């Protein structure tokens, strides 16, 4: 992987270091507040739509700070963050791979016969109202775009340019941080998202830019949050219980 990621050659001056530290701070505050039990309590109190709004805001803020490091820092450019020119092959892969992933997930969901909410570790995140679904889509797009730019782009660059790590070690560190960043999903969720991060990193290394990981990441989130629950509901599978309280009021207001 080190030979493939040879375009990652940033220089971190004080400006880039400060802005990278600010990104880490934004994400660290979010992670520390998001224990599995704490996340469930906040969703119960404030509603699922509000949780998706907070997630989208956090990812958007972190992404803007990462891009600001490129705009104002003399040692970073867009290529260091994986935002390189896109080829026709990249576009075809970015369209085809997510479509294949979505189709496979849909087929597996239909054949599975459903899953009990008690056996679904992410049942508390499954949207059940139009308002929740809209904000889930916004959150998925913000996460798929922002997390790739931050974790695959900025953090791998920072690992080499700030910490002096070999690029493979920086990539491994970014994968670990990505998994830890999803601690609100519990240990199983952290391992699952860590495995997904490995796939995203390999795609980044093979294609030379983030367009394919971003497209696949958004698709995975949309399928998990919207497509699979809808297919399970249509096939007669048991539906997960929707959060009540604030979300019900928000959904009625938005309708």
The model's pLDDT over 138-194, given as tens digits with 9 standing for 90+, comes to 999 999 999 999 999 999 999 999 999 999 999 999 999 999 999 988 888 899 999
Q: What is the pTM of this model?
A: 0.84
Q: Quote the CA–CA distance of 177 and 30 in Å, as a whole number.
A: 13
pLDDT value at position 236?
Answer: 53
Distance CA 145, CA 138 (A): 11
Q: Report the SS3 class of residue 255.
A: coil
Neighbours of 108 (CB within 10 A): 11
Q: DSSP state, 119?
A: G
Q: Distance of alpha carbon 128 from its chain centroid, rounded?
A: 21
What tokens were used for 135? 């904000």
- Asked whether residue 55 carries a pLDDT value surpassing 50, the answer given is yes
> Are the C-beta atoms of 42 and 125 separated by less than 8 Å?
no
Q: Which two tokens stand for residue 248?
A: 């019900």
Helix (H, G, I), strand (E, B) or coil at 49: helix
Range name among 9-18, 156-165, 193-202, 237-246 with the lowest pLDDT average: 237-246
Do 128 and 249 meet the contact criterion of CB atoms below 8 Å apart?
no
């Amino acid at each position: 992987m080190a030979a493939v990621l040879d375009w990652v050659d940033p220089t971190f001056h004080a400006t880039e270091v400060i802005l990278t530290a600010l990104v880490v701070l934004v994400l660290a505050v979010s992670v520390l507040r998001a224990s599995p039990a704490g996340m469930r309590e906040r969703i119960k109190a404030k509603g699922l739509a509000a949780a998706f709004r907070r997630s989208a805001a956090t990812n958007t803020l972190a992404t803007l700070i990462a891009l600001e490091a490129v705009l104002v820092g003399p040692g970073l450019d867009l290529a260091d963050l994986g935002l390189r020119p896109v080829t026709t092959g990249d576009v075809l892969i970015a369209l085809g791979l997510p479509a294949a992933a979505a189709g496979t997930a849909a087929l597996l969901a239909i054949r599975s016969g459903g899953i009990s909410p008690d056996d679904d570790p992410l049942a508390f995140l499954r949207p059940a109202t139009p308002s929740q679904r809209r904000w889930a889509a916004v959150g998925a797009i913000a996460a798929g775009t922002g997390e790739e730019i931050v974790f695959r782009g900025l953090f791998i660059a920072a690992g080499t340019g700030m910490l002096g790590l070999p690029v493979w070690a920086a990539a491994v560190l970014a994968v670990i941080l990505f998994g830890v960043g999803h601690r609100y999903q519990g240990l199983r969720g952290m391992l699952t998202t860590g495995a997904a991060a490995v796939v995203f990193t390999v795609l980044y290394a093979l294609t030379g830019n983030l367009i394919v990981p971003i497209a696949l990441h958004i698709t995975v989130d949309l399928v998990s949050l919207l497509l699979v629950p809808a297919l399970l509901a249509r096939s007669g599978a048991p539906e997960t219980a929707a959060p009540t309280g604030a979300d019900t009021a928000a959904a009625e207001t938005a309708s």
